[in-house]
Structure 1
Amino acid sequence: MRRAVVTGASSGIGAATVRALREHDWDVVAVARREDRLKALADETGATYFVADLTEQTDVDALATHLAETGGVSTLINNAGGAAGLDSVEHGSVDDWAWMYEINVLAVKRVVSALLPLLRASVAGAPTGEAVADILTVSSIAGHIAYEGGGGYNAAKFAVSSMIDVLRLELSGEPIRVLEIAPGMVHTEEFSLVRFKGDKARADAVYASVPNPLSAGDVGATIRTMVELAPHISLDLVVIKPVAQSAAYKVHRGPLAVKEG
């Protein structure tokens, strides 16, 4: 069975991942809060969808029940998340920090806890090496490298990355891969706009003059590769950045060119 659940599927990396998996004939359940966007994605790709706010336990429980009643799941892609603000630790909004922790960390924990029984059921009884279930979480290079202004987002993404590492240890011996992809600069329609509370000029400035920042499709295609590898191969951590980005805090702007010696 190749049935994937993709959270945060209404836009950006989540929607691109749904498209990438459907291109390879996966059965995909797209999950997000915005039903109009999910319906449009389902009409476009042939995926199905489930409306849920992953910060609400009742919604997560309802998702698990729906999946159990409609065929189970073999792959969970935790993509829902987001950033708010680029302020210092001193001046950052506690409400922004709380929201980032809720959506980037606690929502992932809720979904993992709710769907693990279904993931186990998808591979129960399969001969060793012939089947594997996947828990793949989209984190960020902000979960591995700190940068000024990133305090709340760094804290949340470092937390979820650590949680993934712990989960991998706890599931040792089971045919379940625990995977993490940590994107750098990805130019999507909403990430920076949400981060800067609708300030389009400030959001656009993030990507100004950067040659070829990643697209959501680049990340979606990489996620598909990770979950389609042979069952005995686990890409525990994939860091994906545009060539113009050396680190979370170092981005080249302008054409790339060979330096003269």
Structure 2
Amino acid sequence: MKTILVTGATSGIGKSTAELLAKQGNRIIICGRRNEVLESIKTELSAFTEIFSLKFDVRNLEEVETAINSLPEEWKNIDVLINNAGNAYGLDPLSAGKTDDWDSMIDGNVKGLLYVSKMIIPGMKERNSGHIVNISSIAARQTYANGVVYCATKKAVDVISEGMRLELTEFGIKVTNIQPGAVETDFSLVRFKGDNERAATVYAGYDPLKAEDIADSIAYCVNAPKHVCISDMTIYPTAQAEPRTIYRK
């Protein structure tokens, strides 16, 4: 049984991952910004294992520090950190981009990942064991027009994962970087700020990945033998060849 902390656990990939790993008997710390959703998920998953919830916004360093420092002693030894929280806002060229959107993506996808990791890594180093799973994107592999800042933040996740591996391998800590392709979650609804019609077109005419598919992949990496580290994993739906190319029916 592992103690696993999942950020962005109130929806999408994070929620599916928390659910699967809970059903496998791990102790799960679910993290998110919406307390009522956290409590609902905690109630649901408590049927399978021990669940602890933390409410904080990864973009706010003070909230991150306060929340993680508040963990009871029996929850402090985190075996696996899954840095899932992140976002995409807008699909505009740089010349028309909104700086608030840029800040939200950089703060969530890059700084938030760093803030949480900085709090968890020292304990892993002391114990000479641990596993960090960072959720990147195929957007890190191929930049696309009108998504430059989002692509840049996910490229940063790749670089951070590589750097973590260089710094942490000697301490017995695994680092896994996962690059999902098109996954049908609230991702596009958030990107298009609640425009359901526009968001639906992203997943129309083909079978996109589901959050459960990525959860399966994360679980595979987390459950690998101690001497095995899955360093990088790229996952496309069958209909997608690269970020910009999807073959629709």
TM-score band, normalised by shorter chain: over 0.9
Deviates more, 1:59-68 or 1:49-58: 59-68
1:102-181 equivalence runs, <5 A: 102-121=107-126, 123-124=127-128, 132-181=129-178
Q: Structure 1: which 5+ residue stretches go unaligned? A: 125-131, 255-261
Which of 68, 74, 89 pairs up with 1:70?
74
Note the C-alpha offset of 1:95.
1.5
Conserved 8 A contact 1:75-1:119: no
Q: How many pairs are equivalent?
A: 244
**CA distance in 1: counterparts of 2:58 and 2:13, whole angstroms:** 17
Which of 47, 59, 65 pairs up with 1:61?
65
Q: Structure 2: which 5+ residue stretches go unaligned? A: none
SS in 1 for 2:30: strand
Conserved 8 A contact 1:64-1:114: yes
TM-score, length basis structure 2: 0.94
Q: Deviations over 1:40-96 (max 9, x none)?
A: 111111132111111111221123213362332110000000100111122211221
Percent identical pairs in the alignment equals: 36
**CA distance in 2: counterparts of 1:178 and 1:213, whole angstroms:** 26
SS in 2 for 1:30: strand
Which of 181, 191, 195 pairs up with 1:199?
195
Is 1:216 the counterpart of 2:211? The answer is: yes
SS in 1 for 2:94: coil
Which of 91, 96, 108 pairs up with 1:91?
96
Is 1:16 the counterpart of 2:13? The answer is: no
- Residues 68 and 118 of structure 1: CA distance in aligned 2, closer, same or farther (over 3 Å): farther
**CA distance in 2: counterparts of 1:57 and 1:166, whole angstroms:** 21
Superposed structure 1 runs of 4+ greater than 2 Å apart: 66-71, 118-121
Q: Deviations over 1:148-207 (max 9, x none)?
A: 22111011111121111111111231110011111000001x211110011110000101
**CA distance in 1: counterparts of 2:136 and 2:63, whole angstroms:** 22
**CA distance in 1: counterparts of 2:138 and 2:74, whole angstroms:** 35
Q: CA RMSD in A?
A: 1.2
